[in-house]
Amino acid sequence: MANTETALKDVMTSIEGVLGVALVDYGSGMALGTLGGSKDLDLTVAAAGNTDVVRAKMRTMEMLNLKEHIEDILITLNTQIHMIRLLTGRSGKGLFLYVALDKDRANLAMARHQLRRIEADLEV
């Protein structure tokens, strides 16, 4: 089982094109841990903003009476892909991994595969 710091480092080293990663509590919008980022990618701001995205999608699914669970949410920009991966394990309820990827360097399928692996090993 990996702790938060180990999991964030694993995201940064095992996924090509990662610009930054955060583990976020979507109840509070607070980042429990961040790694990477830049002056143009403030991961604390991204954590709070993407909490609103998760909450909105969950409300919409409830209104539609969908009994599915969200695996991930993708936001594609001109030069980046932002991925929100909701954690489903017992210790990860109410949390998501937010990953910003360089669109030209990242392989989306591999990134999703690696995030599933990292999530399975994460113990919060």
Give tens-digit pLDDT for 37-61: 988 999 999 999 999 999 999 999 9
pLDDT band at 15 (very low <50, low <70, confident <90, very high): very high
Write out the two tokens for 11: 């995201």
- The mean pLDDT of the chain is 92
Residues 6+ apart with CB under 8 A from 60: none
Q: How many domains does the chain have?
A: 1
Token pair listed for 90: 């017992």
List b or e across 55-94, with b for residues whose CB sees 16 or more CB atoms inside 10 angstroms.
Answer: eeeeeeeeeeeeeeeeeebeeeeeebbbbbbbbeeeebee
Supply the range of the domain harboring residue 111: 4-121
CATH code, 78: 3.30.450.30
| Matching residue, tokens 């980022």 | 37
